[in-house]
Amino acid sequence: MTGPCLCVDDPEIDEVINLDTGIISTTREVIGHDYDRLEKLRMALAEANASGESLYACPICMVGVYLSCRRKDEKRFFFKHRTENGNCPAITRGELSKDEMLARKYNAAKESRAHIRLKEIIADSLRYDSGFSEVETEKVWRGMDRTKWRKPDVQALWKGKIRIAFEIQLSTTFLHVIAERRNFYRQEGGLLCWIFKSFDQAEARMTQDDIFHNNNRNLFIAGEETLKASAADKALMLDCHWLEPQAINGEVIDAWREERVPFSHLQLDAAGQRVFFRDCDGLKAGLAHQASEEALKQRFFIWWRNSKRSWQDAEWNEARQEFKKRGVFLPEYTYDVLGLLNGLYSAREGECIGWKHPNFISAANTVANSYKNVIRAFRAALLVYDRGDLLKREDKKGNWAKRVIEYKKKLAEGDKDYDRDEQYDPLIAFLFPEVWVVLSGDK
């Protein structure tokens, strides 16, 4: 179900232009309803801005924009100019400069006792782990461009190959600061790993979300308990929280998970500036693809069961194109797969599908009499869907039992009439994967 639009009701900048495509869209369209997608867009905008580029601009003054969040009862978003040059009627920035706001809201937190203690915890934990060397606190990291530098809270060399900056996050950091640091460490071949002191999934701060959604929806916590675990296990131990997608009733639903894990179990993505335990983005993409596949198969089944199945039907031709994209062949004419699909759908549903027969046994007899090249697949389906008892109950005259004896004899003799049409193997594998497992192993 689509949620409410995440845009504020009264954005000053009500349209933005995509500087790559030249397309002007309303702010509401760009912000949309998908929070996870929006967080990734926030980071993309911030990283581009930090590099002196812009992805979107105000179409009135052509000044680049970034996404900001209005926090009241709920998180709602709007665009702000990167700078106010006086040439636009949309005034989105306050009197304080970015640097002034940062000094008031971020630098003070860097000197707090909690921040200092957490730096000590990370540094001590790293020294317990033999995989790390050159552990340093508050040491300047100079870039290849000597005019650019950063001073991460803690840094260390992992496995003698990749230098990792550990930044501690206790209070609000502006998104542009996060983006600038990601860009710096990416350019230097290093990796940035954010560490939090605590995390409340019900009341996550915006900064946590900015980092979280751009870090494969993984977030790491350190504290006194992880320090004890690091000492005991001789490894950097962190508490990982992540949103794991699950397929439930045809929908992809996120569920919170957490686990204490050693750093050696994490995946390092320097290009994407991500450190993560569970590949949530990959899982979500896979489940979304799976849900799309299942929806297509269900639509196709409903159409096949209920329609007259003419090859001229628009839905048949649409299905041919959709199946083709997945490497699955559907013939031009529906009757070329009539016996195959009627037979397998009937076996799956336990009733006659596609033929005007009164019961399932009639469908089985039709396959045995008229579609011998479907018998192998049909037998596999009867086994998978456990239709033996149903056939016995409905085979009151014993005709099916006789046909089973007959086709088993023919199969043993290698009668070519019973060879399946292998061009439809991908179709069986797509629509009936459980049947294909048995059929493909039937030598």
pLDDT at 72: 60
pLDDT at 82: 87
User: Does residue 433 fall inside a structural domain?
Assistant: yes
Residues 272 and 141 both lie in one domain: yes
Residues 59 and 116 both lie in one domain: no
Residues in the chain with pLDDT values less than 50: 1, 96, 100-101, 103-105, 108
User: Does residue 375 fall inside a structural domain?
Assistant: yes
pLDDT at 2: 64
Residues 87 and 105 both lie in one domain: no
User: Does residue 316 fall inside a structural domain?
Assistant: yes
Question: Where is the domain boundary, 47, 71, 94?
Answer: 94
User: Does residue 289 fall inside a structural domain?
Assistant: no
Question: Where is the domain boundary, 77, 94, 111?
Answer: 94
Question: Where is the domain boundary, 72, 94, 116?
Answer: 94
The total domain count for the chain is: 3
**Residue whose entry in the numeric block shows the structure tokens 């709602």:** 76
User: Does residue 9 fall inside a structural domain?
Assistant: no
Residues 196 and 254 both lie in one domain: yes
User: Does residue 293 fall inside a structural domain?
Assistant: no
User: Does residue 277 fall inside a structural domain?
Assistant: yes
Domain around 259: 100-282
pLDDT at 175: 65
d(CA 240, CA 237): 9
Residues in the chain: 443
pLDDT at 329: 96
Cα angle 323-328-332, degrees, rounded to a multiple of 5: 75
Residues 108 and 81 both lie in one domain: no
Residues 260 and 360 both lie in one domain: no
Q: pTM to 2 decimals?
A: 0.63
Residue 224: how many other CB atoms lie within 10 Å: 10
Residues 385 and 255 both lie in one domain: no
Residues 232 and 381 both lie in one domain: no
pLDDT at 113: 75
